[in-house]
Amino acid sequence: MASPSRRLQTKPVITCLKSVLLTYTFVFWVSGIVLLAVGVWGSVSLAVYFSLLDEKATNVPFVLAGAGTVVVLLGTFGCFATCRGSTWMLKLYAMLLSLIFLIVLVAAVVGFVFRHEIKTNFESNLNLALKDYNVTADRHSEAVDTIQRTLHCCGVQNYSDWERTEYFTQRGIPQSCCKSQDDCSEEDLKDLSKAKLKVFVDGCFFLVTSVMESKMSVVAGISFGIACSQLVGIILACCLSQYITNNQYEMV
């Protein structure tokens, strides 16, 4: 049996670890809420952009929402385990954090390795969308219009890409390329030399991929930050579990 002074020294350490772990778990729980909100927002606001990527890419917002839900549930479990001071629950919490840590690392590596494939896939799908473009408002045509109108671009590489489409022979360049809807007649849109003064001349592929590449470092930084924070949680949970076990042993 350990001396009373040793037990008195251990209890403040346990209290301190509990407070730090609770603070960490609360921040972790909030990050889950943010992740869930981003997933829901992405599924609603970015649907047209994902429609021009591979079918698997359209599931990205739902994966984020699902991951956010898991983090919220795990954060709730972590708070409960910390408050109860249960050693087996704290060990399980550390194991689950380790699993998420590995998943985040794998996802970050896969995203980095296949980033060029995503760009190539987007370019080919954008070219196909221009070729099959029509005014019947199918999702790919709607996506093209939204991208051109939002990013102030036209075509894939530049506005002249539309000249090679069937739509151009019938109606000219789409209205979504126009700088001003009030000064953009169909007659102007059928003549490339006139259209050059009326429409956005820069292609959409370069603009979209530039945005993707500029955000890649941010995504990598966030992934690294999440991974590091999970290591902190794993260490805290293991330390608290060990101190609680030692304290129970010393009281015997």
Q: What is the pLDDT of residues 63-107, one digit of tens each?
A: 777 878 888 898 899 888 888 888 888 889 989 988 888 877 777
d(CA 176, CA 184): 10
pLDDT of 249: 47
Task: Give every CB contact of residue 222 below 8 A, 6+ residues apart in sequence.
Answer: none
pLDDT of 251: 42
CA separation (Å) from 146 to 45, 48, 50, 152, 244?
11, 7, 12, 10, 58
Tell me what percent of the residues of the chain surpass a pLDDT of 70: 79
Q: Which residues lie across from 178 on neighbouring strands?
A: 199
Closest by Cα among 99, 105, 83, 73 to 234: 99
d(CA 234, CA 101): 10
- Token pair of 14, please? 């346990």
pLDDT of 250: 44
Q: Is the pLDDT of residue 226 over 80?
A: no
Query: Are the beta carbons of 166 and 158 closer than 8 angstroms?
Result: no
Q: Which of 8-17, 114-123, 135-144, 212-221 has the lowest mean pLDDT?
A: 212-221
Q: Is the pLDDT of residue 112 over 80?
A: no
Q: Is the pLDDT of residue 135 over 80?
A: no
pLDDT of 252: 39
pTM value is: 0.69
Q: Is the pLDDT of residue 196 over 80?
A: yes
- Token pair of 178, please? 């126009």
Q: Is the pLDDT of residue 130 over 50?
A: yes
Residue 100 one-letter amino acid: I
d(CA 168, CA 191): 10
Q: Is the pLDDT of residue 187 over 80?
A: yes
pLDDT of 1: 45
CA separation (Å) from 19 to 15, 33, 87, 211, 237?
6, 21, 16, 41, 11
pLDDT of 216: 60
Closest by Cα among 63, 97, 59 to 78: 97
